[in-house]
A and B are shown apart, each in its own frame.
Chain A
């Protein structure tokens, strides 16, 4: 069902939304820097920004999250889980790439063996209002990664920015619940065709030529390839690419305590940090950048497909945009073609030692 929302009504719409839901939306923190955040006032919401630095995964999988609190009472401990979600939630303005990533995170967190209640409860309580990407950047390659700037899959409602208004598509049962919303009106055919035009133009812009298809099989034989000797060299081992990646989901679990009271917390972690794999004995199974860079890329393009049938990359381009040393994942993917691998191998062999 296709409706529209006038931008002048946006604030009022958000106000009514916030009466029922906890609202999460892009908020500008500084010039050119934004994140998804729980909204206190509709004025904070900024749908005009580029895709925020930090992906929307934070709404389901916060960077730092309390798992339970405890307090010592005599010899026993009183433990209280914080897994519950008090109010229904709405994510407003998530891009199709981030939304596609939710389904990959579902594979991990809601997999068949163990269900992650912290992720699952939030996910279940959330309605997703996606926002179409009319201007994919040159670093965007969602169209190579099984997505697209107007991919609606995963959204309950979907917005297309027409300047003065948003086209609002109701896509799921959760979305249809908004059918009677007083701020939504029927869109006319002219508006609908305008949206179509923007969609057609945008879909040609996201790069569809990054050779992701078949990378899981190609990379099967790459574990010991000298390719990695070169690949990691410029990586400085920070966590930018993994923290800003909408599909990276590694975490650490720690206790924060003051004497008899405290909490267990999980924090995002990164396979690029040496400490991540370092064992108490001092032994580190991934001792250098070579193994750590390999882990990052192989997890996305080989291990994840083996477990879940698709790559753990949605082509959002954040790791390319924000890498301090311009490590470009697209180049790494291109280098996995048999011809390129041979070239790298020859070069490495020639100059080893």
Chain B
């Protein structure tokens, strides 16, 4: 069982002092949830768990523990984020130990919650079913019907460039067409696209959960916070909010692993991944580049060559 393998490896890494800290997932306080867990004591590794609710991208915590040697539990997408961060020289060599877990695809807890009438008080995963129980109901749901869209389209469930893979590799077989959100967005008319974007961002409360949940957003001072120069205002005017979301997405070009952490973090359930997915798709088509695959090749927009085309500059 993967969970056992994670614990075993974590115990070993802490005991032989390969790492100071393990970042993994632990039991959440709510049904259908896990919570990031930080383990320093080899005796406490049993607090680590693994299931279909390990939705966070733990790589975002690496910035917080930049002085420690860290062992981290990673899914395919999380590992790619770390490769991308390594390209940006965020870590010292051998500072990290990546415990890769081939991903079974994560379950959208909100979608499950909406499939039943009443509050879910208990949930348990068994094979391909999620058993949920609440006041006056108890049913089993097909896991596959409740996967996050980003997971359904995932083509990199097996973590690469990791120190160890825990569990058997899975077959890379997207359940739905890859880049499906981007494609759906492309098929809209410009007006529909604008309306969609406008409607989604209108719910934004500027809590920056999307930014903080993303491992790639690590600027010491985000452009929205700069007072000199002041790029945008901090209120709720639509143009400021839209500007934030567009720039946030653009900053991810060629750096986004498509993990979906931004969208999962949003308390107002704003759709965000279609934007980054569109940029990922463009980068793939124009430069044949995918984030976090090649450990030595920087993202196309972070580099240049003398022969680069410039006929598009008018």
Chain A residues engaging chain B, CB cutoff 8 angstroms:
29-33, 35, 53-54, 63-64, 135, 137-139, 230, 233-234, 236-240, 243-244, 252, 254, 256, 265, 267, 270, 273, 275, 289, 320-322, 324-328, 330-331, 347, 350-351, 353
Of B32-40, B190-198, B275-283, the one with at least 4 CB within 8 A of chain A: B32-40
B234 interface contact, C-beta 8 A: yes
Chain B contacts with A in 91-123, Cβ cutoff 8 A: 110, 113-114, 118-119, 121
Q: Residue on A with the closest CB to B230?
A: A254
- Tell me if B's interface is mostly helix, strand, loop or mixed: loop
Indicate which residue in A138, A275, A324, A330 contacts B225 across the interface (CB closer than 8 Å): A275
Q: Is the CB of A256 within 8 A of B235?
A: yes
- Bound CA span A340–B110, Å: 32
- Bound CA span A230–B64, Å: 13
Q: Is the CB of B205 within 8 A of A326?
A: no
Chain A residues with Cβ below 8 Å from B265 are: 236, 238, 240, 324
Q: Is the CB of A324 within 8 A of B35?
A: no
Chain A residues with Cβ below 8 Å from B269 are: 30-33
Interface string of B29-61 (1 = CB under 8 A from A): 110011111101100100000000000100011
Q: Is the CB of B235 within 8 A of A236?
A: no
Q: Is the CB of A238 within 8 A of B29?
A: no
Interface string of B231-255 (1 = CB under 8 A from A): 0011111000000000000000000
B286 interface contact, C-beta 8 A: no
In the assembled complex, the CB of A136 is this many whole angstroms from the nearest CB of chain B, namely 9
Chain B residues with Cβ below 8 Å from A326 are: 28-30, 33-35
B144 interface contact, C-beta 8 A: no
Indicate which residue in A53, A64, A135 contacts B268 across the interface (CB closer than 8 Å): A53
Q: Is the CB of B56 within 8 A of A64?
A: no
Indicate which residue in B35, B113, B203 contacts A29 across the interface (CB closer than 8 Å): B203
Indicate which residue in A63, A234, A273, A351 contacts B205 across the interface (CB closer than 8 Å): A63
Chain A residues with Cβ below 8 Å from B60 are: 236
Q: Residue on A with the closest CB to B35?
A: A326
Chain B residues with Cβ below 8 Å from A265 are: 233, 235
Chain B residues with Cβ below 8 Å from A139 are: 30
Chain B residues with Cβ below 8 Å from A54 are: 205
Indicate which residue in B41, B114, B212 contacts A238 across the interface (CB closer than 8 Å): B212
Q: Residue on B with the closest CB to A328?
A: B29
- Bound CA span A236–B237, Å: 25
Q: Is the CB of A238 within 8 A of B234?
A: no
Q: Is the CB of B234 within 8 A of A267?
A: yes
Could you tell me how many residues of chain B have their Cβ less than 8 Å away from some Cβ of chain A? 45
Q: Is the CB of B268 within 8 A of A33?
A: yes
Q: Is the CB of B209 within 8 A of A239?
A: yes
Indicate which residue in B209, B211, B234 contacts A252 across the interface (CB closer than 8 Å): B234
Q: A33-B269, A234-B36 are in contact. Are A240 and B207 (CB under 8 A)?
A: yes
Chain A residues with Cβ below 8 Å from B287 are: none
- Bound CA span A54–B208, Å: 15
Chain A residues with Cβ below 8 Å from B207 are: 238-240, 243-244, 270
In the assembled complex, the CB of A331 is this many whole angstroms from the nearest CB of chain B, namely 6
Q: Residue on B with the closest CB to A319?
A: B267
Chain A residues with Cβ below 8 Å from B235 are: 63-64, 256, 265, 267
B162 interface contact, C-beta 8 A: no
B180 interface contact, C-beta 8 A: no
- Bound CA span A350–B42, Å: 11
Q: Residue on B with the closest CB to A136?
A: B119
Q: Is the CB of B64 within 8 A of A324?
A: no
Chain A residues with Cβ below 8 Å from B202 are: 29
Q: Is the CB of A254 within 8 A of B29?
A: no
Q: Is the CB of B110 within 8 A of A324?
A: no
Chain A residues with Cβ below 8 Å from B38 are: 230, 233-234
- Bound CA span A240–B212, Å: 11
- Bound CA span A353–B41, Å: 12
Indicate which residue in B37, B121, B213, B225 contacts A236 across the interface (CB closer than 8 Å): B213
Q: Is the CB of A237 within 8 A of B212?
A: yes
Indicate which residue in A233, A236, A330 contacts B212 across the interface (CB closer than 8 Å): A236
